[in-house]
Amino acid sequence: MGHFLGFGMLWFLLLALGIGAQKHSVPRGIDLECLGNLIRFSLDGSQLWGHGLEADAFDGANFIPLTRKLASQCGYRMQSDPWGNVKLFASAQHCFFESNDDETFTVTARIRLSGSPVSEAAMYTVSKTCIYSVWASREIICNANYMEVSVIRRVPTTGDDFEKELTEYEGVDDGSDYEVDSPLKLWKVQFHTGGQTMTIEEAHNKGYGLAVSSTRALLRSPYNTPETATLDVSGVPMQVIKAHTFLKRKWMVKTLESSAACPTGGVTFTEEMITWRLPLKITPLLSSEHVTIIEYHMGIDGKRLDATTMAARNYRLTMTDSHIIVEIPMGSVDGYYKSQATDYQYYITYNIEPMLEMLWKETAMYDDTRYKVLFPIAIKMARPPFIQDNTVAEKRVFDLFVGSFRSDVALVNITFETGVISVAEANAQGFNVQEQLLPNGFKGYTMQVPFSDPVVRRENPTLDVTDYILSVTFGFVTLLENAPFSHPGILKSSLQDVVLPTVTGTCDLEYFYVNVAYGSQGHNFVVVVGQRELTPDIANEYRYTQNDTHFTIAVHFLAPDAVFEIVWASLLRSRLNVVLKNNRDWTLNDFSLSCSFPMTMIECFPNGTMTALAVKVESVPDLNLSHLTLRDSRCKPAYSDHIFAFFSFNVNSCGTTRKFINNYMIYENEVSLESGKVATAADQYLITISCSYGISITYTLPFNTMPNPEPVVDAAMGVLLVRMQLALDSSYLVFYLDEHYPVVKYLQEPLYFEVELMRSTDPQVELFLENCWATSEEERTSVPKWDLIVDGCQNLVDPYHTMFHPVSADARVHFRSHFKRFEVKMFSFVSEGVALKGQIFVHCDVVICDANSPTDSLCRGQCMNKQNTSATSKRDRRSTGNARVEQVSSRKIVLI
Ligand SMILES: *[C@@H]1O[C@H](CO)[C@@H](O)[C@H](O)[C@H]1NC(C)=O
Ligand SMILES: *[C@@H]1O[C@H](CO)[C@@H](O)[C@H](O)[C@H]1NC(C)=O
Ligand SMILES: *[C@@H]1O[C@H](CO)[C@@H](O)[C@H](O)[C@H]1NC(C)=O
Ligand SMILES: *[C@@H]1O[C@H](CO)[C@@H](O)[C@H](O)[C@H]1NC(C)=O
Ligand SMILES: *[C@@H]1O[C@H](CO)[C@@H](O)[C@H](O)[C@H]1NC(C)=O
């Protein structure tokens, strides 16, 4: 049902409720009850939700709108809860009662929709007659809007029609005749506070109610008038009114004392319990110390409760020396909660109206007093909302609960960092906002927001962790008062879910190819190639291509961002570094790709011209290539830039030296920094360049930079028993090291192999080569295969015979028997009539013999008896236990 019901619709509802003009039976939804000296009308307004009702009091002739002033003056109180349930209380001695015997009281009222005119048809007249005959000599009612005291005026005694007036003073003669039967009339009232004496009319105008009936006199006062006082009675604040009422008959004036005292406080509470204390002795009302409490009762909404109901609801009524104490569990069914929003904060009030009744006796003017307090309590409690984070990070959805509220609160909107949306929009966006009822009568809302939604912010506290942050403010409104309030919260969830970009690379003869896969966070990083950030211009230069997930670049091996690690005669090892950094300068990937590219560094021409290319290498970073010279420092580079220095000179110049080795003439020179230009050790740069000239054969030798060689890793030499090495030349003094491989050789060049038995100090063992052969694949048994040594002898089929070289002792060779050397001509490797180019590997089967026991034919010497007893030697060679066979292979050799 909406808030904006028209009167027409309400008219229908009122009819449905049974509120109709001129109806006589008590309609459904209306309850009329006699509660001692009070009469109560209750109207169930649940179907009139959001609309108040108003009442008119019937004064015997007309209906008078029940204003606040009229209500407190005349003993009415109308009260409604937020759902339109209305209670109308009237004192039995309300202004308009008519009773001859002070026992039968009737209240008539009319109820109508608030705001509707008095003449409106949509109203209902209720009337109730109650009988109350057990008057105490003084009855006090503390209602929420008035204090009322009714005292006995005449004491009925035995004997017809004889009644004695209380406290009768005579002697005031106003000159009128004495008439015994003329009625006693209210004349004046004197209030104790302020001491003011007023006429009855003046008192009425000030909102007081004063009346006399056949047996009683009544004073009714609103709270907080100038004539009331506030007193502390046993720790409870009370409003007190005390007055002497003067009654007059002819020349006779009588005075009555009327006092009322009503509590305005005395409530304390905890989260669980409301405690209300009333002083046991309400001293402003007492004239002696000797007071006896006859009975006391607790009630709710003006109606006494029986013991069973009290027990069922956990109400407690106790009496101490000083107080009567009512204890009510917070949230009990007789009260109700209501939401409130003040200054954008959420509060709830718990409202309940307990009642206390006491009857006490004392030896005084009024020997018994019935005392009744209807005490509405509204307890306001801040209930700051909370957000409960039920997120399970792995599910990648924020799951939250915001609560808790009474049912009279609605969630209106949700503010994210990206803006405000309504609840309907949130649901359309898939956030699944649902109201959840809690068992304690409160409610809340659940919501789910996927981590992937744009309202979720992302941050990376470390490289591989993502923080998902949901900043949210819920906007609420209280339904009854339409007051807004809100609750903010920040939820954070972390996942180690970052896939970092990956970099892979390959090379061909000229280019590095780098492929970058973006990872989980897109192309959200800076690329540094070499020392430079990859700007659009550089990207263009490097043939940058990209799609949604990858980009690639192709970088030439001589590009400025490549660095040269090492140089060989015909190869240049170049390295490309690629670093990916995020916007916080964290390195996401540090990649480097190192490849060897073929490049001719030295050329020897038959006319005696030598050319050499010197390259800036990484190990000498500050080298200025234009400062390089040959041995003769006048010989400067023919050309230089920041990468290369190019020398071209004749072998007879520039300090070139010449030496003869075997049948070769070897010319050597050196490239180094001009003397005087060497600033630091790191600037030292020395390369030896040489050319060998044989008979119509020219070849180059490798060179390297000195004295900053790359570190050499000696790959597990220590465990090898037998090794095969390739010597630089037939002197067998210098050998290629691991890092020189693949060794590049021209076809004309012979290969000088040495096979060594290592780590043996036994002169009695001897190493023999049984079979040696070459393959173009690394696998020993691969084909094609070229035999070099067969059964310990040169392969006679090969026109370029393999040649054994003698071994002589020197610093390295301690036991000649542990070494064998042989020379292979590369033209041996013919495939389909053409000399092989490309890679080869050389393999040998090695026999290690005991020199003292040459049982095997091989052990008698390398190719000793083979040539004479050609076909017989193979037999039972391995039948003896004295020979060991080892296998050994060369590394890759490239023929060009
Ligand atoms: C969201 O709701 C709150 C609480 O009801 C209200 O104060 C605020 O103005 C609303 N915001 C928007 C943009 O509607
Ligand atoms: C993007 O490029 C990479 C190679 O760079 C390729 O593997 C991938 O399939 C491409 N993706 C699309 C969507 O084209
Ligand atoms: C030697 O030969 C090379 C290659 O043919 C040539 O470039 C160079 O100029 C020649 N040098 C001389 C001094 O003739
Ligand atoms: C190298 O030295 C030359 C001559 O001294 C000079 O002109 C040139 O600027 C230097 N180059 C660098 C990169 O320092
Ligand atoms: C093998 O034959 C050669 C001649 O061909 C001869 O000189 C040599 O002594 C012979 N060796 C043996 C061990 O018979």
State the average pLDDT over residues 554-577: 87
Q: What pLDDT is attached to residue 663?
A: 53
Say how many Å lie between the CA of residue 862 and the centre of ligand 5. 14
Residue position matching structure tokens 């993502």: 466
CA distance 659 to 845: 37
Query: Ligand 2, from 549, 551, 552: best to mutate by most atoms within 8 Å of Cβ?
Result: 549
Query: Regarding beta strands 323-329 and 273-279, do their DSSP bridges make them parallel or antiparallel, or are they unpaired?
Result: antiparallel
Say how many Å lie between the CA of residue 608 and the centre of ligand 3. 8
pLDDT tier at 680, thresholds 50, 70, 90 = low
Q: What pLDDT is attached to residue 327?
A: 97
CATH superfamily of 602-694: Zona pellucida, ZP-N domain (2.60.40.3210)
Please determine, looking at this structure, whether the domain spanning 502-598 carries the CATH number 2.60.40.
yes
Query: Ligand 2, from 547, 548, 552, 553: best to mutate by most atoms within 8 Å of Cβ?
Result: 547
CB 476 within 8 A of CB 485: yes
Say how many Å lie between the CA of residue 482 and the centre of ligand 1. 12
Q: Is 868 in the pocket of ligand 5 (CB under 6 A)?
A: yes
Cite the DSSP H helix spans in 112-242: 200-205
State the average pLDDT over residues 129-137: 92
Q: Whose CA is nearest to atom 4 of ligand 2?
A: 550
Say how many Å lie between the CA of residue 606 and the centre of ligand 3. 8
Alpha carbons within 13 angstroms on the beta-carbon side of residue 490 total: 7
Supply the mean pLDDT for the chain. 82
CA distance 546 to 453: 27
Say how many Å lie between the CA of residue 422 and the centre of ligand 1. 9
Asked whether residue 753 carries a pLDDT value surpassing 60, the answer given is: yes
Say how many Å lie between the CA of residue 141 and the centre of ligand 5. 151
CA distance 90 to 77: 6
Q: What pLDDT is attached to residue 155?
A: 57
Say how many Å lie between the CA of residue 804 and the centre of ligand 5. 18
Q: Is 412 in the pocket of ligand 1 (CB under 6 A)?
A: yes
Q: Whose CA is nearest to atom 10 of ligand 5?
A: 868
pLDDT tier at 404, thresholds 50, 70, 90 = very high
For 30-134, CATH number?
Answer: 2.60.40
CA distance 616 to 614: 7
Q: Is 688 in the pocket of ligand 4 (CB under 6 A)?
A: no
Q: Whose CA is nearest to atom 2 of ligand 2?
A: 550
Residue position matching structure tokens 């084909």: 783
Q: Which amino acid is at 241?
A: I
Asked whether residue 410 carries a pLDDT value surpassing 70, the answer given is: yes
The full 3-state SS of 189-218, as one line of letters, equals EEECCCCCEEEHHHHHHCCCEEEECCCEEE
Q: What pLDDT is attached to residue 236?
A: 97
Say how many Å lie between the CA of residue 861 and the centre of ligand 5. 13
Say how many Å lie between the CA of residue 894 and the centre of ligand 3. 28
Q: What pLDDT is attached to residue 721?
A: 66
Q: Ligand 5: which atom is nearest the Cα of residue 865?
A: 13
Say how many Å lie between the CA of residue 475 and the centre of ligand 1. 6
pLDDT, tens only, 301-321 = 999 999 999 999 999 999 999
Q: Is 869 in the pocket of ligand 5 (CB under 6 A)?
A: no
Q: Is 390 in the pocket of ligand 2 (CB under 6 A)?
A: no
pLDDT tier at 729, thresholds 50, 70, 90 = confident
Q: How many CB atoms lie within 10 A of CB 483?
A: 18
Say how many Å lie between the CA of residue 614 and the centre of ligand 2. 40
Say how many Å lie between the CA of residue 544 and the centre of ligand 2. 13
Range name among 88-97, 161-170, 431-440, 686-695 with the lowest pLDDT average: 161-170
Asked whether residue 209 carries a pLDDT value surpassing 60, the answer given is: yes
Q: Is 725 in the pocket of ligand 4 (CB under 6 A)?
A: no
State the average pLDDT over residues 742-762: 82
pLDDT tier at 120, thresholds 50, 70, 90 = low
**Would you give the DSSP letter of residue 425?**
H
Q: What pLDDT is attached to residue 595?
A: 87
Distances (CA, A) of 380 to 5, 278, 330, 475, 851: 30, 21, 12, 21, 112
Q: What pLDDT is attached to residue 712?
A: 26
Q: Is 552 in the pocket of ligand 2 (CB under 6 A)?
A: yes
- Region for residue 844 given its phi and psi (left: phi exceeds 0; alpha: psi -120 to 50; beta: otherwise): beta
Ligand minimally distant from the alpha carbon of residue 642: 4
Report the chain's terminal Cα–Cα distance, integer Å: 97
pLDDT tier at 75, thresholds 50, 70, 90 = very high
Q: Two tokens at 425?
A: 């929009």
State the average pLDDT over residues 109-136: 78
Of 754, 737, 672, nearest in space to 702 by CA: 737
Asked whether residue 56 carries a pLDDT value surpassing 80, the answer given is: yes
| Three-state secondary-structure class, residue 154 | strand
Residue with more model confidence, 580 or 97: 580
Q: Is 879 in the pocket of ligand 3 (CB under 6 A)?
A: no
Say how many Å lie between the CA of residue 147 and the centre of ligand 4. 110
Highest mean pLDDT among 26-30, 269-273, 569-573, 664-668: 269-273
Q: Whose CA is nearest to atom 4 of ligand 3?
A: 605
Say how many Å lie between the CA of residue 791 and the centre of ligand 5. 17
Ligand minimally distant from the alpha carbon of residue 549: 2
Q: Is 193 in the pocket of ligand 4 (CB under 6 A)?
A: no
Query: Ligand 5, from 868, 872, 873: best to mutate by most atoms within 8 Å of Cβ?
Result: 868
**Would you give the DSSP letter of residue 713?**
P
Q: Two tokens at 621?
A: 């970073």
CA dihedral 142, 143, 148, 150 (to 10 degrees): -80
Q: Which CATH architecture has domain 721-895?
A: Sandwich (2.60)
Q: How many CB atoms lie within 10 A of CB 575?
A: 17
Q: Is 861 in the pocket of ligand 5 (CB under 6 A)?
A: no
The residues, ordered by sequence, that sit 6+ positions from 548 with a Cβ below 8 Å of its Cβ are none
Asked whether residue 744 carries a pLDDT value surpassing 90, the answer given is: no
Q: Whose CA is nearest to atom 7 of ligand 4?
A: 626
Q: Two tokens at 270?
A: 């905890």
CA distance 236 to 324: 12
Q: Whose CA is nearest to atom 8 of ligand 5?
A: 868
Q: Is 626 in the pocket of ligand 4 (CB under 6 A)?
A: yes
Query: Ligand 2, from 550, 552, 553: best to mutate by most atoms within 8 Å of Cβ?
Result: 550
Q: Partners of 405 in the beta sheet?
A: 443
| Three-state secondary-structure class, residue 360 | strand
Q: Whose CA is nearest to atom 6 of ligand 2?
A: 550
Residue with more model confidence, 289 or 25: 289
Q: Two tokens at 836?
A: 């092989």
| Three-state secondary-structure class, residue 214 | coil
Q: Is 506 in the pocket of ligand 2 (CB under 6 A)?
A: no
The residue length of the chain stands at 896
Q: Is 550 in the pocket of ligand 2 (CB under 6 A)?
A: yes
pLDDT, tens only, 460-473 = 898 889 999 999 99
Q: Is 609 in the pocket of ligand 3 (CB under 6 A)?
A: yes
CATH class of 386-495: mainly beta
Residue with more model confidence, 712 or 604: 604
